[in-house]
Structure 1
Amino acid sequence: MTLAVDPVAVTAYDAPFLRHQVDPRRVLGAWRLGGAVVLEQQPHQPGADGCVVTAIGPPEDVAELAVQVAPLVAAPWRVSVEEPALASLPEAWRPATVDRWHWMLARELPASSDPGLGVVEVHEAAEIDAVLDDAQPTAHARPGSPGIECWLGVRDGGRLVAVGALVRMPDRTGHLRAVSVLSSARGRGLGRVVSAALTQRALTGGSGVATLGVYAENEVAIGLYRSLGYAVVHRFASGSPGSPA
C-alpha cells in the first residue's frame, strides 16, 4: 500500500538528502513505501513547466512506489532518482537524456585545510557574473538567486579570479554552489581555497553539515571535495521525461 506522508515529517526520514536538501515548503506531495520515498515538489527554476519529482531508496521499493504514485502526479518537468533505481522508473518518468551527479556531505574540515587564506566576501554582482560567464556559464547560482547567504572569493591584483556561493537550506545546512575559477587563474589551488572557506562557513549553521552537488564525470572536483572531508552520500540521475536522446 502506498502511504502518503506529511511533507514536513518526510524530511526526518533516515536519508541525509531529505533532511538537509529538501525544502518542506516546496513539497506538494510525499509518499513512502518500504525504504523508498517519492516527493513531488515545486521547482526552483523560473519558467519550469511542471513539478520536480525526486525518488530515493532501493530499486525494488522505488519501482513499486513509483508505479502507484505516477498516476497521482501531473507530468513532471524534471525527475531525479538514485542511479541504481533509474531503470525502475515508470516509462512516463524515465528521461532519455540523463545527467549523473553526486550529492556530497561533510561534517568537518580536515586539519590540513587553510580555508581563510586570501578569501573575501564579494558583493559586486558584475564581478561575480564575469567569473561565472568565463568559468561556468550554466552555474546553478547567480547574484540574486534565492537563498544565497554569501559569495566568497579571491582577488588577484584587485581582480576577482575565483568565487563561490553558500546557500542556507531550511534546516540551516550550508550548501555550496557555483564554485568557479577564471580560466586564466586555474592551476593555483584557488578552487580549493574558496571551497574550504565556504565549507567552514557552512558548518557554522545549525545542522552542523555542509553539502554540495557535483557532476559525476567531474573527477577533479570530486577529488578536491573528498580532500576537504566530503563523502558521496547519494548518486543521482536526473533529466526531463520525454527529452530527446
Structure 2
Amino acid sequence: MALEIEQFMARGDNFCVLVHDPDSHSTVLIDAPREEEILAALDRTGWNLTHILITHHHGDHVEALKPLKHRFTPKVFGPKGEADKIDGLDELVGDGDTISICNQTVEVIETPGHTAGHVCYYFPKSGLLFAADTLFAMGCGRLFEKGPAEMQKSFDKLAALPDETQVYCGHEYTLANAKFAVTVDPDNEALRERLTVVDVQRQAGEMTLPTTIGLEKQTNPYFRTSDASLKAALGMENASPTEVFAEIRGRKDRF
C-alpha cells in the first residue's frame, strides 16, 4: 500500500509531516516543532509514532524531541554533523547513508547552508523529499552557518532528483517567497502564474505544499542561477551561478 501523509501546521508557520505505512504500521515524524500539534495529529489519525527524522538543530525543529521520546520511545535519526547540538539522537546519518523504515529505503542527502550539517530525507520509492529549511517553495533557507557556494551545491544535489518528486518544506513562506521571486525574475511567466495561484490559496487558508522539484526548477530563482533572463534582470550576465545565488539571497535578506 502507498504511504499516507498527514501534513499540518505547528508553531504558527512550521510545516509538520507524519508519514505512515499501513502495512508495517510504522509512523515517521519529520522534525519535532512542538508537541501539542504533533499529539493532536497522532490522535486524529490514530497512528503510533515509531520513528523521527531530524534535519537540523534549530529549536523550532527539535523542541518536542525529548517529550516525544519519553512518551512514545521512537527511534530517532539525525545529522551526524550536528550530533553535539541535538540531544536524543539514536542513530547518526550523513550524506549517502540509507535508512530502512516504512518498508522503504530512505536516502540521506547532506545539504549544508542553512546550518552546517543540515540533511534532507528522500524516499525514492514513493518520490518524496523532506527538505526542511534548505529548500522552500520558491525560496531557500537563510545562510546562517554556511555560504552561498555550499548552498548552491546543495541545490545542485536536489535539482538532480526526478522532476516529479514531491517536496515538503519546513515553513509556510510560499507567498512571501513568490512576491520576492518576481522582483528578481520578472520575465518568468510560470512564476507570475504561480504567484496568483498561491495568493488565492493563502487567502483561502489552504496549504501551499507539497511542491515538486520540477515546479521549483521552473519558478524558484535559486534553481535558476544559470538562466540568462534572470541574470540579465539582475545585471549579472557574466556572473557565475554562485555569484548569482549570493546576490539573490542578499536581496531576499533585505526584502
Normalized per residue, the structure richer in helix is 2
Q: TM-score range with shorter-chain normalisation?
A: 0.3 to 0.5
TM-score of the two chains, using structure 2 as the length reference: 0.32
Normalized per residue, the structure richer in strand is 1
TM-score of the two chains, using structure 1 as the length reference: 0.33
Larger relative contact order (CA 8 Å, sep ≥ 6):
1
